[in-house]
Amino acid sequence: MTVLKTENVSILFGGLMAVSKLNLELKEGELVGLIGPNGAGKTTVFNMLTGVYKPTSGSIVIKSKNRQFQSIIKLHPYQITRLGMARTFQNIRLFRNLSVLDNVRIANHFNAKYNTLEAILRLPSFYKEEKRIKEDSMELLKIFNLQHKSKELAKNLPYGEQRQLEIVRALATKPHILLLDEPAAGMNPQETQELMDLIRSIKEQFKLTILLIEHDMNLVMGICQRIIVLDYGRVIAQGAPAEISKNQMVIKAYLGKEMENDA
């Protein structure tokens, strides 16, 4: 069952073809890794999938929450998130000056069943929904063992926990597709190991389809069921981790061409 599909997606920045003719398909419940050398266009792919960039050509469809396929080419990022595809950012983009709880509450906002007038007049529906939102948020924080830090400012958390909070915040939008942009960047091996377990467990618990960008090959090879390799905006290989690690094209892209014998 496909949940996300791109067909011949290309994007031009000025004269530069950043991503060209990308064909990508995610099946329900898959955990797919997107790898490639620096500047290969991985984050650009993410930005196109989430509506930050508009592709120059091609089509992207996702299965929305009500299980219908929908083109997302013309949608804004917030509309795509509401359809059920959430993301994290490579360079952490938390609401730094707000509390951990507020960070998660904000992601719950569009699910809140009261309007601004009810909020200003403090009608019972407001208290009821606020209570629900708070409970839901705390529940999520508990999974990541952040509940006792709910009142701290996001910027005061240690780096690893900031990364985790980004994932919590994305989960709070109740997605069924989750895009993780380098979730393990800057983490030590111990933290990376914990993160791997965490990603596996939330995938099961929330029935997620996950696409992740990562440079840490341990993590990628360890948890991904399928890997897509990008180089200069093109897919050069895809397949199971074992195949990818032996693929000559991939090795060449990462390590460069072997020198010709001088003979």
- Name the CA radius of gyration of the chain, rounded: 20
- Looking at 2-10, 128-136, 213-221, 247-255, which segment touches another protein (CB under 8 A)? 128-136
Cβ–Cβ under 8 Å, residues 24 and 6: yes
We find the least distance from the C-beta atom of residue 171 to another protein, in angstroms, to be 11
Establish if 185 lies at the interface with another protein (CB under 8 A).
Answer: no
Establish if 112 lies at the interface with another protein (CB under 8 A).
Answer: yes
∠ CA 45-222-215, nearest 5°, is: 40
Residue whose token pair is 């693929």: 247
We find the least distance from the C-beta atom of residue 173 to another protein, in angstroms, to be 5
Where does residue 51 fall: left (phi above 0), alpha (psi -120 to 50 degrees), or beta otherwise?
left
- Looking at 54-62, 93-101, 137-145, 255-263, which segment touches another protein (CB under 8 A)? 93-101
By the 10 Å C-beta count (0-12 exposed, 13-18 middle, 19+ buried), 90 is classed as middle
Question: How close are the terminal C-alpha atoms of the chain, in Å?
Answer: 53
Among 21, 37, 90, 95, binds another protein (CB under 8 A): 95
Among 126, 141, 184, 223, binds another protein (CB under 8 A): 126
Establish if 136 lies at the interface with another protein (CB under 8 A).
Answer: no
Among 130, 152, 191, 194, binds another protein (CB under 8 A): 130
DSSP secondary structure code for residue 258 in this structure: P
Establish if 162 lies at the interface with another protein (CB under 8 A).
Answer: no
Instruction: Give exposure, 207-241, as e/b (b: 16+ Cβ within 10 Å).
Output: ebbbbbbbebeebbbbbbebbbbbbebebbbbeeb
Establish if 66 lies at the interface with another protein (CB under 8 A).
Answer: no
We find the least distance from the C-beta atom of residue 109 to another protein, in angstroms, to be 5
Beta bridge partner(s), residue 86: 178
Establish if 128 lies at the interface with another protein (CB under 8 A).
Answer: no
Cβ–Cβ under 8 Å, residues 9 and 55: yes
Establish if 173 lies at the interface with another protein (CB under 8 A).
Answer: yes
Counting residues that bind another protein (by CB under 8 A) gives 40
Establish if 60 lies at the interface with another protein (CB under 8 A).
Answer: no
We find the least distance from the C-beta atom of residue 86 to another protein, in angstroms, to be 7
Q: Contact residues for another protein (CB under 8 A)?
A: 50, 52, 76-78, 81-82, 86-87, 89, 93-98, 102, 105-110, 112, 114-116, 119-122, 126-127, 129-130, 133, 169-170, 172-173
